Chains A and B, each alone.
Chain A
């Protein structure tokens, strides 16, 4: 058996190393650089479709994270998805006609809410509803719109020459 001093020193070293590793994991490799202050406030936005938006997704303005999505609920009266945004209290002068849209980070990235400022001189207050919203882009709708559009233009091309021929 080695002396107790050696044991104590190496045990202490081991425990400190272990806790340093835990600290490193919690602070350096998780996305907690943005933490909300206690004086944050809520905004409500109702969307026809939230796509893949999840609670915890960032709310950003001009690319700067200013809050997080707190909650997503389906409202039976509005027949819409109501998203609760929690905005950091230091951003307390956002014009109250700013619009919210659901955007995608990168090609395959997660979805987030982007706010773009309006022109009103009244700021948003706690519990306000965002009036101007833009839904998430659903890829299937986009494709079907494109397909139907091209089909429509084709039928137009097929039908339009007939009247002109008849006119002549």
Chain B
């Protein structure tokens, strides 16, 4: 009984410690942010790594999410004889929720794990220690460009996801089920406000910051072993997913 209690306390303490370390890490990153923005070259490389390389998976998933929305939406709306609202339903659910959230989950799985594994491996193979010996700040040199690349790439990925999904839903609704193409787009245009787009992009940006930060934190602070790298990548995905969904509720509650 005592041992269980002790372990519980021990676990809570280590959780608080991790949160504290995470906050310190974030503040450190924030402090060197202005100097990092000037070094464009490494940021472009990281936008390529996190953004351009995620493009195929984002577009494929977007297409199928859109097609499912078209299928489900048509099936439901058809019962009320109002299939022409398919465009509205698809666009609003994509802009407000599905676009940013699904993209963030895919981003954590595709780009976040790559970042964490790369940084973890650098830690395990003493590359980070070597930089410190050479008086090169690894935070500035390695961590910051990766973080910024993710932050820049996320909103763009969200937008691409949403637009591809809209065409996916159009494919199912208009081409397969014969919803009128004109009413699909015009009903959508009539109901979607600029605020919906703003909400989607805000979420994309916030999720981008959160997921990139978690990925670089977990990778940078990974235990310098093969097991540690593996654990860091797992943690990246799990923490990113949980944090994304929690943040999603908070942002939605504050913006509605």
- Seen from chain A, the residues whose Cβ lies within 8 Å of a Cβ on chain B are 7-8, 10-11, 13-15, 17-19, 21-22, 24-26, 28-33
Given contacts A15-B47, A18-B160, contact A30 B193 (CB under 8 A): yes
B45/A14 in contact, CB under 8 A: no
B159/A22 in contact, CB under 8 A: yes
Min CB distance A139 to B, Å, is: 19
Between-chain CB contacts (< 8 Å), 22 pairs: A10-B52, A11-B44, A11-B47, A14-B47, A14-B55, A14-B153, A15-B47, A19-B156, A19-B159, A22-B156, A22-B159, A25-B95, A25-B159, A25-B163, A26-B194, A29-B166, A29-B188, A29-B192, A29-B197, A30-B194, A30-B196, A33-B189
Min CB distance B86 to A, Å, is: 13
Chain B hits for A26, CB < 8 A: 194, 197
Determine the main DSSP class of B at the interface with A: helix
Min CB distance B84 to A, Å, is: 11
Chain A hits for B159, CB < 8 A: 18-19, 21-22, 24-25
Segment 181-204 of B: residues with Cβ below 8 Å from A: 185, 188-194, 196-197, 200-201
Which 7 residue pairs across A and B have the least CB separation, nearest first?
A: A18-B156, A21-B159, A14-B52, A10-B52, A21-B163, A11-B48, A7-B48
**Contact-size category for B:** 20 to 34
- Seen from chain B, the residues whose Cβ lies within 8 Å of a Cβ on chain A are 44-45, 47-48, 51-52, 55, 91, 95, 153, 155-157, 159-160, 162-163, 166, 185, 188-194, 196-197, 200-201
Interchain CA distance A30-B55 in the complex, whole Å = 25
Interchain CA distance A14-B44 in the complex, whole Å = 11
Interchain CA distance A162-B91 in the complex, whole Å = 65
Min CB distance B214 to A, Å, is: 22
